[in-house]
A = this chain, B = another copy of it.
Amino acid sequence: MPAASAAAGPGERERESEFESEFDRDTALTLKEPGVYHAEVSGGWSIVSAVNGGYLTAMLGRALAGTLPHPHPFTVTAHFLTATRPGPAVIRTSVARTGTTLSTGSASLHQTDEHGRETERIRLLGTYGDLTRLSDSVRTSAKPPVLPPPEQCVPVADAPDGALPGDLTMLDRLAARLDPDTVGWALGRPSGRGEVRGWFALADGRELDPLALLLVGDALPPTAFDLGLAGGWVPTIEYTTHVRALPAPGPVRVAISTRNLAGGFLEEDAEIWDSADRLVAQSRQLARAPRG
């Protein structure tokens, strides 16, 4: 926000420049050699029994943004191979093509496993561009989710004991509030529709940008809970996000739904709408259904 910075007094400017968000700190990378980054996976984004896949996708997305000439993920797909652990990691990127308006590349996250062997945890493929250069034309037939105002929604951190299983560390970093109509599962009364809706922001006030949107589509409780499969882990196999516009400041509204729970797998579709009523991202993931 350059205008605000310019208008602020020296003290305020200093505070702004010192502010480092949890998200930026925990996705920070150190360039080791061209295209290769050292990363430190934070334990602060653990949820249930794993490090959150959206957080990890954003970390790899940052690495690819550093390697490709374009700044913003337009479409990013991550495949989760083995469980990433908090601690050091190496991210290797590979450029497939650099063009005038779009560039494409891959990134892989590796860690040393308990036997001292380097193991690939995540492989990602993405095409990047510059969202500030897109035309202003919008013909979106989708409608934003209808949600009560945030103060009438339920903070995720207020879930009753046991409603969310396992490690809940990540919740401290999220200012997420769920539509009361989609939290019945927390009280043992899932709707069965496979829908979760809510408001989302980062708890420390960092505004959402295209990299942070890679987190958002995987940051609300899984639709499997609303399908009556609460209590289990819903491991993501693959997670694709299309970032379609720069989000306006403020919290976003997120609507997640599952239409096809079958054969032990399910998809989760998320739409993310900003404060200016723009559909800023669409994501889909394929996940294993919990045994319920």
CB within 8 Å of B: which A86-143 residues = 96-97, 102, 104, 106, 108, 120, 123-127, 131, 134-142
CB within 8 Å of B: which A200-214 residues = none
Report the bound CA distance from A231 to B67 in whole Å: 36
Report the bound CA distance from A81 to B138 in whole Å: 26
Is A193 an interface residue, CB under 8 A from the partner? yes
Beyond A127-B237, A140-B262, whether A81 also contacts B96 by CB under 8 A is: yes
Report the bound CA distance from A92 to B80 in whole Å: 21
Report the bound CA distance from A139 to B190 in whole Å: 15
Our pick among B137, B141, B240, B263 for the contact of A135 (Cβ within 8 Å) is: B263
CB distance from A252 to the nearest CB of B (A): 15
Contacts of A194 in B (CB 8 A): 141
Is A218 an interface residue, CB under 8 A from the partner? no
CB distance from A80 to the nearest CB of B (A): 9
**Most interface-central of A137, A237, A262 (chain B CB within 10 A):** A262
Contact present for B96 and A120 (CB under 8 Å): yes
Tell which of A25-33, A177-185, A279-287 binds the partner.
A279-287
Is A84 an interface residue, CB under 8 A from the partner? no
13 A-B pairs whose Cβ atoms sit less than 8 Å apart in the complex: A75-B286, A79-B104, A79-B125, A96-B120, A96-B123, A106-B123, A139-B227, A139-B262, A140-B259, A141-B258, A141-B259, A240-B284, A260-B279
Is A261 an interface residue, CB under 8 A from the partner? yes
Is A245 an interface residue, CB under 8 A from the partner? yes
Is A197 an interface residue, CB under 8 A from the partner? no
Is A242 an interface residue, CB under 8 A from the partner? yes
CB distance from A262 to the nearest CB of B (A): 4
Contact present for B238 and A75 (CB under 8 Å): yes
CB distance from A217 to the nearest CB of B (A): 13
Contact present for B244 and A138 (CB under 8 Å): no
CB-based closest 8 A-B pairs: A134-B263, A142-B259, A81-B97, A77-B77, A75-B238, A138-B262, A139-B261, A125-B125
Report the bound CA distance from A75 to B284 in whole Å: 11
Is A82 an interface residue, CB under 8 A from the partner? yes
Q: Mark A136-167, 1 if CB is under 8 A from B, else 0.
A: 11111110000000000000000000000000
Our pick among B124, B135, B237, B263 for the contact of A244 (Cβ within 8 Å) is: B263
Contact present for A244 and B260 (CB under 8 Å): yes
Our pick among B137, B240, B265, B279 for the contact of A134 (Cβ within 8 Å) is: B265
Is A264 an interface residue, CB under 8 A from the partner? yes
Report the bound CA distance from A262 to B74 in whole Å: 13
Report the bound CA distance from A163 to B74 in whole Å: 31
Is A267 an interface residue, CB under 8 A from the partner? yes
